[in-house]
């Protein structure tokens, strides 16, 4: 009997003005313990020396140049040139772990029904930090095959360099959205996650470089300081479409979607969607869902959150800057404050505010009084009577004692 054919892998590296970082990215791909069969560098109209750098690499590297149109156009161009069974999209400023591809493929051998494999990464600034293991690991242990889609609606945990996908999946969902200058990888991730089966790979898959060079295209230039604001703006465009097109039950884990529909699961899905929309700054959607949740909870006589709901609510404002004190959030704040007083309202507000004492104490310890006052305003928008005193106790217990105190 003939041995099964070895699967082939194409790596796609879209690039734009990255002559400084591209060599290290490509070297890390060429030094994989299992070599890729094809590496496509697509130069999106660079104006520096990126073209000469990219063209200097040996096979299996192939270099293509096109007019500048943004990262999505470069990716779509490359997808048409792919010959591999699997596609690994890799950023031009990152560094692959030496055994990443070997472990990706091993995961598919263990779970041949999987459509894509994913793994964690670490952040670094200087190349020497990788060898010294002086980097920040970004772990997302709560993300699993079962909850991959709803967890990524909350936040884009997995990035393209930490993802190996069967080429047929890209064929089925279509190309990258070329209207998105940023977050195009996130939008594609959601399409893949909604439709296909994932398998987790243990260990780090790549190292993500933190740097202050510009992002975007020649038409839409995004500075380092504006990058998070830009991501948020494009994420809201994506989530508006998600809210319209994704059924409520899809906000549940896949195992929960297979269960008979109940009022409890409907409430959990509403809470999950409200939490996601609040995280993205789509406050009108978050408010509508929290009102629907309150109505169903009152009808059911619900007095406390389930453990799953509690975790969902806690994650809503786990980020440092929530935007709760901004005018667009007023509708959401009003919706929560409009609940009938009782144990459930107390429960949910307490969990919404779970992360605030930590952030406040951190700012005060660092002497950041202006950010701390902003956080206190955000906390007070939803706080109930007694919450502020609990907050103050939590803050003062975490602050260092004055010098000379005993």
Encode the chain in three state secondary structure.
Answer: CCCCCCCCEEEEEEECCCCCCHHHHHHHHHCCCCCCCEEEEEEECCCCCHHHHHHCCCCCEEEEEECCCCHHHHHHHHHCCCCCCEEEECCCCCEECCCHHHHHHHHHHHCCCCCEEEEEEEEECCCHHHHHCCCEEECCCCCCCCCHHHHHHHCCCCCHHHEEEEHHHHHHHCCCCCCCCCCHHHHHHHHHHHHCCEEEEEEEEEEEECCCCCEECCCCEECCCCHHHHHHHHHHHHHHHHHHHCCHHHHCCHHHHCCCCCHHHHHHHHHHHHHHHHHCCCHHHHHHHHHHHHHHHHHHCCCCCCHHHHHHHHHHCCCCCCCCCCHHHHHHHHHHHCCCCCHHHHHHHHHHCCCHHHHHHHHHHCCCHHHHHHHHHHHHHHCCCCHHHHHHHHHHHHCCCCCCCC
d(CA 26, CA 61): 9
* pLDDT of res. 255: 96
How far is it between the farthest Cα atoms of the chain?
Answer: 81
Q: What are the residues whose beta carbons fall under 8 Å from the beta carbon of 169, sequence distance 6 or more?
A: 115, 116, 192, 195, 196
* pLDDT of res. 380: 73
Q: Is the dihedral of CA 196, 201, 203, 207 positive or negative?
A: negative
Query: CB–CB of 43/63 below 8 Å?
Result: yes
For 233-245, the pLDDT digits (tens) are 888 999 999 999 9
* pLDDT of res. 1: 57
- Residue 42's DSSP bridge partners are 14, 64
d(CA 72, CA 214): 17
* pLDDT of res. 321: 65
Give the pair of three-digit tokens for residue 331: 């509708």
Phi (first) and psi of residue 174, to 5 degrees:
90, 175
Phi (first) and psi of residue 361, to 5 degrees:
-60, -40
Render each residue's pLDDT in the chain as its tens digit; 406 residues.
566 789 999 999 999 999 999 999 999 999 999 999 999 999 999 999 999 999 999 999 999 999 999 999 999 999 999 999 999 999 999 999 999 999 999 999 999 999 999 999 999 888 878 788 888 898 888 899 999 999 999 988 999 999 999 999 999 999 999 988 888 999 999 999 999 999 999 999 999 987 665 565 656 555 556 566 766 788 899 999 999 999 999 999 999 999 999 999 999 999 999 999 999 999 999 999 999 999 999 999 999 999 999 999 999 988 756 677 677 888 998 999 888 889 999 999 889 888 887 777 877 888 877 777 777 777 777 764 445 545 554 544 444 444 444 3
d(CA 41, CA 39): 6
Query: CB–CB of 276/239 below 8 Å?
Result: yes
β pairing state of 61-66 and 38-44: parallel
Burial class (CB in 10 A: 0-12, 13-18, 19+), 175: middle
- Residue 121's DSSP bridge partners are 138, 206
Give the pair of three-digit tokens for residue 162: 């930490």
Residue with tokens 């990219």: 54
* pLDDT of res. 43: 95
Query: CB–CB of 92/21 below 8 Å?
Result: yes
User: What's the start-to-end Cα distance of the chain, in Å?
Assistant: 79
d(CA 282, CA 293): 17
* pLDDT of res. 244: 96
* pLDDT of res. 228: 65
* pLDDT of res. 126: 81
* pLDDT of res. 399: 44
For 188-219, the pLDDT digits (tens) are 999 999 999 999 999 999 999 876 655 656 56
């Amino acid at each position: 009997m003939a041995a099964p054919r070895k699967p082939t892998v194409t790596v796609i590296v879209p690039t734009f003005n990255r002559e400084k970082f591209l060599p290290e990215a490509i070297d890390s791909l060429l030094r994989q313990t299992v070599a890729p069969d094809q590496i496509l560098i697509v130069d999106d109209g660079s104006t520096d020396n990126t073209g000469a750098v990219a063209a200097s690499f040996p096979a299996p590297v192939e270099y293509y140049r096109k007019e500048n149109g943004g990262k999505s156009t470069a990716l779509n161009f490359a997808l048409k040139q792919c010959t591999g069974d699997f596609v690994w999209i890799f950023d031009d400023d990152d560094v692959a772990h030496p055994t990443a591809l070997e472990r990706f493929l091993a995961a598919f051998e263990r779970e041949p029904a999987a459509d894509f494999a994913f793994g964690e990464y670490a952040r670094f600034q200087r190349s020497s930090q990788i060898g010294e293991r002086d980097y920040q690991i970004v772990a997302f242990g709560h993300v699993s095959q079962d909850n991959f889609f709803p967890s990524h609606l909350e936040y884009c945990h997995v990035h393209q360099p930490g993802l190996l996908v069967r080429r047929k999946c890209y064929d089925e969902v279509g190309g990258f959205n070329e209207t998105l200058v940023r977050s195009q990888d996130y939008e594609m991730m959601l399409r893949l996650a909604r439709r296909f089966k994932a398998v987790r790979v243990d260990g780090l898959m790549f190292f993500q470089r933190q740097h202050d060079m510009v992002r975007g295209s020649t038409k839409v230039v995004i500075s380092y300081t504006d990058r998070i604001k830009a991501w948020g703006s494009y994420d809201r465009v994506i989530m508006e479409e998600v809210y319209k097109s994704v059924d409520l039950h899809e906000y549940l884990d896949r195992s929960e979607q297979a269960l008979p529909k109940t009022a409890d699961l409907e409430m959990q899905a509403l809470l999950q969607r409200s939490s996601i929309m609040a995280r993205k700054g789509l406050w009108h959607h978050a408010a509508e869902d929290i009102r629907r949740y309150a109505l169903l909870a009152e009808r059911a006589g619900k007095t406390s959150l389930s453990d799953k709901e509690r975790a969902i609510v806690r994650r809503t404002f786990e980020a440092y800057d929530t935007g709760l004190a901004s005018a667009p959030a007023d509708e959401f704040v009003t919706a929560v404050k409009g609940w009938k007083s009782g144990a459930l309202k107390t429960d949910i507000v307490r969990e919404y505010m779970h992360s605030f004492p930590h952030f406040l104490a951190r700012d005060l310890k660092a002497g950041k009084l202006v950010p701390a006052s902003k956080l206190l305003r955000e906390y007070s928008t939803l706080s109930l009577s007694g919450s502020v005193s609990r907050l103050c106790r939590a803050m003062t217990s975490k602050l260092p004692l004055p010098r000379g105190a005993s």
